[in-house]
């Protein structure tokens, strides 16, 4: 008799990079024990402040000279990206990062026909319900409902509502590092996600490879290092092995 496949795990990302920043250890741990992990992107990421940085109208704390100098007339000489090109670069960063974590290509769901620049709790609920119908035995991870980012909070609020009304039972919430460790911002019930040392070592190796995908700067090949332009401090925290934090239950 064959052993049934483990129930899939679905991780909802508000933006391209959330999966690596807040869930790298969770994702790789589940993959290493043989569980299928599906990552679902809930917005197009077009509202990133990195667009202004790439146009040279806003300083970047990560880029060495602080400012970019694109064409026309700028010494870097690249054409500043359109919103559509920014989104395409973010999508490519996320796909490459997910592959480094070990996620199967078919399980990286960009939701290009559904997503919008922003996310409401109602649309987040619609998204989670759709994946619940597709995978009724799956576990679900979303960002915390108290997150200061509206898209993160919308996902968390929608998942919390689905648990409260009995639609779902297997749910967890990931909490951003600063909101798990800063006293005035800390989420109630948050705990550090832990694994055996060998699992953590392999997960960190993969996570470090994943964040390199968010640092890829090749504007003439339409790669703009959006992840590092926007959240380099958090990327570097991952490199140093900053843990994931979760809320296990309501």
- In 3-state terms, what secondary structure has residue 47? coil
Report how far apart, in Å, the C-alpha atoms of 122 and of each of 118, 157, 187, 205, 242 are. 12, 9, 23, 37, 32
Per-residue pLDDT of the chain (250 residues; tens, 9 = 90+): 455 568 999 999 999 999 999 999 999 999 999 999 999 999 999 999 999 999 999 999 999 989 999 999 999 999 999 999 999 999 999 999 999 999 999 999 999 999 999 999 999 999 999 999 999 999 999 999 999 999 999 999 999 999 999 999 999 999 999 999 887 778 889 999 999 999 999 999 999 999 999 999 999 999 999 999 999 999 999 999 999 999 998 8
Phi, psi of 11 (to 5 degrees): -110, 125
Closest of 6, 22, 34 to residue 199, by C-alpha: 34
The string of DSSP codes covering 180-227 is HH-TTTPPTTEEE----HHHHHHHHHHHHHHHHHTT-EEGGGTEE-HH
In the chain, where do the E strands start and end?
A: 9-13, 37-41, 108-109, 139-143, 171-175, 190-192, 217-218, 223-224, 245-247
What's the pTM?
A: 0.95
Query: CA 121 to CA 96: how far, in whole Å?
Result: 28
Among 202, 162, 207, 189, which residue's Cα sits nearest to residue 247? 189
Going 197 to 109 to 100 to 226, the CA torsion angle's sign is: negative
């Amino acid at each position: 008799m064959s052993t049934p496949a483990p129930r899939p795990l679905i991780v909802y990302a508000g933006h391209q990079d959330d999966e690596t920043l807040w869930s790298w250890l969770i994702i790789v741990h589940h993959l290493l024990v043989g569980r299928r992990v599906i990552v679902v992107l809930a917005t197009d990421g077009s509202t990133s402040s990195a667009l202004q940085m790439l146009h040279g109208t806003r300083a970047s704390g990560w880029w060495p000279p602080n400012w970019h100098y694109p064409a026309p007339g700028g010494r870097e000489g690249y054409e500043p990206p359109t919103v559509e090109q920014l989104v395409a670069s973010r999508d490519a960063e996320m796909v490459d990062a997910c592959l480094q974590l070990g996620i199967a290509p078919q399980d990286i769901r960009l939701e290009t026909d559904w997503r919008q620049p922003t996310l409401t709790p109602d649309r987040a609920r619609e998204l989670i319900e759709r994946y619940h119908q597709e995978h009724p035995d799956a576990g679900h991870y979303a960002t915390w409902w108290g997150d200061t980012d509206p898209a993160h909070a919308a996902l968390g609020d929608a998942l919390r509502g689905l648990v409260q009304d009995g639609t779902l039972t297997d749910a967890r919430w990931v909490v951003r590092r600063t909101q798990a460790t800063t006293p005035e911002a800390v989420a109630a019930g948050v705990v550090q996600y832990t694994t055996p040392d060998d699992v953590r070592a392999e997960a960190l190796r993969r996570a470090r490879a994943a964040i390199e995908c968010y640092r890829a700067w090749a504007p003439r090949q339409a790669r703009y290092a959006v992840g590092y332009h926007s959240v380099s401090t958090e990327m570097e925290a991952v490199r140093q092995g900053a843990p994931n934090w979760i809320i296990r239950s309501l």
